[in-house]
């Protein structure tokens, strides 16, 4: 196909909007259509700046754009910025696009960008943004901001991360508002993404995406086989392939990590979690979509602490299934572990204070490049630790966990199958995905 992408064509959005729905003439991709899927992850909110939010790893880029983006060669180009950064005395200057509106119609300027970056720096973007220095408003231009880092290319590369996404001041994960191709409507068991007509980089090509919560890991496969949804999760089929289905692999969602806390006693010491998961039998968790899990063969995968709960966020069905496998492997008489889903607010409280024995989480990569995985894991351990990271050339996140109170269980990839009428879905650029009429 030679059709133009949404982002490449955003400067001529009006021309696309005038194209009749369902028409492929002149190489244009058609507007219209609905994409349906089910996910084994909680859908009660979405936070593009959270390093542990699986739904944000999937759809954060659909609802909130960063200032810059990277082309296939890894070179930055302006997204919500008006141009590439420019060097100035004392650092680097970035200018925000004029007339910027959020998906819900809120007028935005450099103050919203500053608030977004500050919000990210306190959370998932801590290690990513710390080297740039604290951004400041340009006193001569309300649409510009200044960074103390002197390399404009480095600044643009860091600001191209999804974790540096721009959102309005007062952003709420329960009622998210952003700057991306879609506007998100959050429900308890459903997330609906609708085309954002205010999107600076061009509205989505699809009318909407409807995501419902999966009851178990087979739920999405059953629904895909039955023709109820358009994309499967963790596999291509349950009983028999769906005619015309197309395989896809969209890369890494993140790394599943096992945390140890104060309630684990001596078993909560740094490095213990990684030693425990390193002893997992090779391939034991591959059926759950985890690669590079265990198989190192160092020690016995046995929990030696007191009987305890293994916590994870309520509604994270995928994590819960992994937790069930881990508790079955780790438990021993007198040292039993049991799975315990908890509300997200309770987990945040316990994590901050270390009041737990074991917890299962997801750590997103924080950007592109070989250090993104390690920096994501360090950020999951502590934003403060991530601000002054010690990374290794290998890029393997396990190389930084010897001194951490968490261990990397395995890498979780986004793969499966989708109906043949969907196009450009493989890279999870949801705004650029379209449906053949």
Asked if the structure places residue 1 within a domain, the reply is no
Q: What is the pLDDT of residue 15?
A: 32
Cα dihedral 377, 383, 388, 393 in deg (nearest 10): 10
Provide CB contacts within 8 A for 130, sequence distance 6+: 121, 386, 387, 388
User: Measured in whole angstroms, how far is the alpha carbon of residue 239 from the centre of its chain?
Assistant: 30
User: Measured in whole angstroms, how far is the alpha carbon of residue 334 from the centre of its chain?
Assistant: 38
pLDDT > 90? residue 93: yes
Q: What is the pLDDT of residue 17?
A: 32
Domain check: are 209 and 223 in the same one?
yes
- List C-alpha distances in Å: 203 to 30, 80, 102, 195, 197: 12, 14, 12, 6, 5
Q: How confident is the model at residue 296 (pLDDT cuts 50, 70, 90)?
A: low
Q: What is the pLDDT of residue 16?
A: 29
Domain check: are 82 and 145 in the same one?
yes
In tens, the pLDDT along 169-216 reads 999 999 999 999 999 999 889 999 999 999 999 999 999 999 999 999
In tens, the pLDDT along 380-406 reads 999 999 999 999 998 889 999 999 999
Asked if the structure places residue 215 within a domain, the reply is yes
- Residue 213: strand pairing partners: 39
Asked if the structure places residue 5 within a domain, the reply is no
- Residue 413: strand pairing partners: 252
- Altogether, the residues listed in the chain come to a count of 437
Domain check: are 426 and 398 in the same one?
no
pLDDT > 90? residue 428: no
Split into its structural domains, the chain has a count of 3
Q: Nearest to residue 356, comparing CAs of 323, 316, 383?
A: 323
Per-residue pLDDT averaged across 33-41, rounded? 96
Per-residue pLDDT averaged across 257-279, rounded? 95
Calpha distance 35→357 (Å, rounded) = 40
Q: What is the pLDDT of residue 281?
A: 86
Q: What is the pLDDT of residue 382?
A: 94
Q: What is the pLDDT of residue 188?
A: 80
Q: What is the pLDDT of residue 19?
A: 37
Domain check: are 191 and 337 in the same one?
no
Q: What is the pLDDT of residue 294?
A: 54
Q: What is the CATH number of the domain that holds 376?
A: 3.10.105.10
pLDDT > 70? residue 314: yes
Domain check: are 296 and 400 in the same one?
yes
Which of residues 164, 189, 210 is at a domain's end? 164
Domain check: are 221 and 261 in the same one?
no
pLDDT > 90? residue 284: no
Domain interval for residue 36: 10-61+173-245+419-435
Domain check: are 395 and 305 in the same one?
yes
Q: Name the least confident of 1-10, 126-135, 234-243, 264-273.
A: 1-10
Asked if the structure places residue 3 within a domain, the reply is no
Domain check: are 269 and 392 in the same one?
yes
Which of residues 112, 132, 164 is at a domain's end? 164
Q: How confident is the model at residue 283 (pLDDT cuts 50, 70, 90)?
A: confident
In tens, the pLDDT along 229-251 reads 999 998 888 888 999 999 999 88
Domain check: are 93 and 238 in the same one?
no
Domain check: are 274 and 406 in the same one?
yes
Q: Are strands 182-186 and 190-195 parallel, antiparallel or unpaired?
A: antiparallel
Q: What is the CATH number of the domain that holds 39?
A: 3.40.190
**Contact by Cβ (8 Å): 364, 376:** yes
pLDDT > 80? residue 315: yes
Domain check: are 358 and 427 in the same one?
no
Asked if the structure places residue 110 within a domain, the reply is yes
Q: What is the pLDDT of residue 48?
A: 97
Asked if the structure places residue 2 within a domain, the reply is no
Domain check: are 160 and 179 in the same one?
no
């Amino acid at each position: 196909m030679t059709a133009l992408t949404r982002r490449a064509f955003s400067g001529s959005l009006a021309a696309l909007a005038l194209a009749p729905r369902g028409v492929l003439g002149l190489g244009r991709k058609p507007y219209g259509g609905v994409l349906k899927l089910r996910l084994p992850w909680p859908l009660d909110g979405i936070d593009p700046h959270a390093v542990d939010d699986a739904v944000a790893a999937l759809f954060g880029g659909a609802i909130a754009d960063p200032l810059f983006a990277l082309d296939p060669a890894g070179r930055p180009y302006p997204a919500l910025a008006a141009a590439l950064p420019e060097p100035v005395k004392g650092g680097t200057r970035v200018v925000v696009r004029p007339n910027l509106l959020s998906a819900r119609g809120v007028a935005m300027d450099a103050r919203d960008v500053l608030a977004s970056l500050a919000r990210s720096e306190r959370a998932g973007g801590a290690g990513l943004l710390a080297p740039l220095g604290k951004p400041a408003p340009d006193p001569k231009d309300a649409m510009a901001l200044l960074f103390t880092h002197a390399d404009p290319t480095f600044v643009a590369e860091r600001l191209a991360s999804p974790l540096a996404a721009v959102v309005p001041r007062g952003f709420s994960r329960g009622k998210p508002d952003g700057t991306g191709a879609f506007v998100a409507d959050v429900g308890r068991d459903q997330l609906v993404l609708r085309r954002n007509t205010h999107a600076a980089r061009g509205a989505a090509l699809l009318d909407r995406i409807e995501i419902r919560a999966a009851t178990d890991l087979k739920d999405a496969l059953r629904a895909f086989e039955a023709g109820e949804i358009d994309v499967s999760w963790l596999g291509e089929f349950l009983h028999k392939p769906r005619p015309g289905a197309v395989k896809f692999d969209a890369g890494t969602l993140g790394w599943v990590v096992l945390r140890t806390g104060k309630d684990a006693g001596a078993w909560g010491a740094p490095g213990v979690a990684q030693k425990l998961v390193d002893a997992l039998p090779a391939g034991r968790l591959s059926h759950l979509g985890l690669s590079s899990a265990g198989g190192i063969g160092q020690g016995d995968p046995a929990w030696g602490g007191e009987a305890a709960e293994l916590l994870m966020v309520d509604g994270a069905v995928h994590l819960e299934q992994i937790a069930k496998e881990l508790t079955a492997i780790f438990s021993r008489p007198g040292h039993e572990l049991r799975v315990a889903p908890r509300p997200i607010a309770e987990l945040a409280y316990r994590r901050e204070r270390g009041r737990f024995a074991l917890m299962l989480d997801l750590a997103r990569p924080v950007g592109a490049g070989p250090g993104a995985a390690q920096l994501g894991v360090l950020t999951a351990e502590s934003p403060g630790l991530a601000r002054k990271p010690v990374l290794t050339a290998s890029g393997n996140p396990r190389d930084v966990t010897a001194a951490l109170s968490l261990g990397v269980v395995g890498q979780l990839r986004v793969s499966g199958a989708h109906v043949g009428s969907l196009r450009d879905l493989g890279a999870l650029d949801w705004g650029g995905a379209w449906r053949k009429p």
